Amino acid sequence: MPQPWSESDAEAFVEIYAAHGVPDDLALRTYSARLLGRVPALVMHGGGNTSVKTTVRDVFDAEVPVLCVKGSGWDLATIEPEGHPAVRLEPLRALRSLRALSDEAMVNAQRQNLMDTTAPNPSVETLLHAFLPHKFVDHTHSIAVCAVADQPNAEALAREIWGGRVGVVPYIMPGFSLAKAAAEAFEQDPSVEGLILLKHGVFSFGDTARESYERMLSLVEAAARHLGKASPTYAALALPGPVAPARAIAGDALAAVRGSLARAAEASGAATRWILDRRSNGEIDRLLADPMLDELARRGVSTPDHVLRTKGWPLVLPPAPTVGALDGWIEEADRRLAAFVDGYRAYFARNDARSAHPKTMLDPLPRLVAIPGLGLVGVGKSSGDAAVAADIGEAWAATVLRAEAVGRFEPIDEADLFDIEYWSLEQAKLGKAADKPLARHVVVVTGGAGVIGLATARAFAAEGAEIALLDLDGVRTRAAAAAVSARALGLACDVTDPASVSAAFARVCETFGGVDVVVSNAGAALTGAMADLSDERLRASFELNFFAHQSVAREAVRLMRLQGQGGALLFNVSKQAVNPGPDFGAYGTSKAALLALVRQYALEHGRDGIRVNAVNADRIRSGLLTGEMIATRSAARGVSEADYMSGNLLGLEVRAEDVAQAFVASARLMRTTGNVLTVDGGAVPAMMR
């Protein structure tokens, strides 16, 4: 819900930013922009824009009227004062006298008049803000307003809902023409508090930041009240949906979708690995259960700029599969995805034919997938991008339901949709940064809350991978995940329990869509001479150091085969597997068995494109080699702890970070399997050859 204006909070912003030389009105602009940006029902992921008209001093110390307007790349939820770059106001207003202005000329004029030429490009709607006379101007893509603005009779509805409080602007693509039309709509009645842009969103304005903000909330609330009157119709859409599938089947279905996307991407020349983000709530479930879902999905996005994140329509798949029905479901998913790709190619061809300048087709894969009984699934090159698509999918579902409750959801048509999707000014918002080496990969690390596990997770995250940590203590594991990245997943998992392993991997698939690399790292060094070991203690060592790795590997291979993209299985084996030490028989024998397991998996799954490699490390400060154990061993050898830890050919202590880099290197060796990479500084008895 939107937050009410707080004078104390506003004053705090003014005081904090005054210490950095920020004028009061820009500080207040920052405060109210954040209030708007933090409400998903108003603004999502860089959408919306805000401005304030003020003055700044130039190099001659003369006061210059400027428009401080949201800059490209800034998000209202977290915007800082520099996110509203200052543009000379009078030259912007002078542009209104022109009969026409190309997009390129508009952008050039805006950049020419920046007070700071290093500032980001001003918003594509800068001129609309400039042509309005008010000091503060706010623009959002409110779900409630869009549900009204996306109606075939939206103008009449606007008059019914807001009366003379708003001007109504027909749909025009953002830019010079829309700015002129908006100014003209305002001038027809300068007493209006805002503008409704059909098929687009809402503007509010005022002499103070508070006035503009509260007008925005009031206009949105009026739309919400109107929608609420239609609650009987809205409730009729609450149709019973399919029974939600068991978690394991949900995870399998998402891994299968990821595989389908990979196959379609390969055929289209696009990147083959994609990250998924599943969403399910009451509104999503109601929409996906609607018999008209396919037709509703094809109508388009709720506000034009969402096409950049989700394309023009979602891929609709069959209801989520049940146990035993996955194979047939995958076949139908592949067929529907192929039809989606063909449909996108046809859409591009139809619309590119009318373009004055031929376009280059973007990849034809969906960015939003609707699966009745499972939810809406965002698709992206990273978990962040997938989350953006999923968030916008949630907003789309909410808008469609509300629009259908009062009439008919009818957003912009295909031609307008194409023009926005292929508009260079909008595409520039997305950025074209190159992927990191392991971007689009999902990495699972067992023993993830331990020293080596956490170091490994951080090393993979630095390479661009999405991270899931599994460990016995859920609280510690979630804390470890938070230390890796904001989007890393931390799960409680007992790797000695196959059911716990399966449930954890299903959660990983629900979160990211699948698994690409597994670092099977969990283990413990149980000590004692073999002849003195109880059967119980020896079996406990094998349960953790052998059978647990088998459970992890078996589940990982099952999912990797389902995805059909290969993958990497990496095991923390230890030098004990090849160079056993006295009184470490329980550990050494179980690790030797693990090394044999590594070779067996490499032998059996090369045909699946799954690479299986091991890391043999020694003398790493961790939960296995504690400070107490280091002190005991160094004393027994009559050397200092430092000399004990660096007792290798290189004379260097080997760190957890070194082991982590060995795992990363193994994951990136695309034509290596059955390999053992030793990380011990050079221990002759443990050399593999």
**C-alpha radius of gyration, the chain, whole number:** 30
d(C-alpha 399, C-alpha 421), whole Å: 20
DSSP per residue over 97-134, as a string?
A: GSS---HHHHHHHHHHTBSSTTSPPBPTTHHHHHHS--
DSSP per residue over 296-327, as a string?
A: HHTT--SSGGGHHHH-SSPEE-PSPP-TT-HH
- Give the active site residue among 17, 213, 587, 644: 587
Tokens of residue 480, six digits: 């470890």
CA dihedral of residues 195, 198, 201, 204 (deg, nearest 10): 0
Q: Is 335 helix (H, G, I), strand (E, B) or coil?
A: helix
* Angle formed at CA 610 by CA 247 and CA 678, multiple of 5 degrees: 115
Q: Is 478 helix (H, G, I), strand (E, B) or coil?
A: helix
Per-residue buried b or exposed e for 553-574, using 16+ beta carbons within 10 Å of the residue's own CB: bebbbebbbbbbbbbbbbbbbb
* Angle formed at CA 502 by CA 499 and CA 503, multiple of 5 degrees: 85
Assess contact for 638 and 664: CB atoms under 8 A.
no
CA dihedral of residues 204, 206, 212, 215 (deg, nearest 10): -70
Per-residue buried b or exposed e for 480-505, using 16+ beta carbons within 10 Å of the residue's own CB: bbeebbebbbbbbbbbeebebbbbbb
Q: Which among 638, 633, 654 is positioned nearest to 583, based on CA atoms?
A: 633
Number of neighbouring beta carbons within 10 Å of residue 350: 12
Identify whether 587 is a catalytic site residue.
Answer: yes
Tokens of residue 142, six digits: 């409110």
Tokens of residue 173, six digits: 């693509």
DSSP per residue over 55-74, as a string?
A: EEE-TTS-EEEEEEEPBTT-
Assess contact for 229 and 214: CB atoms under 8 A.
no
Assess contact for 142 and 192: CB atoms under 8 A.
no
Q: Which among 404, 410, 411, 409 is positioned nearest to 233, based on CA atoms?
A: 404
Q: Is 671 helix (H, G, I), strand (E, B) or coil?
A: coil
Active-site residue list? 587
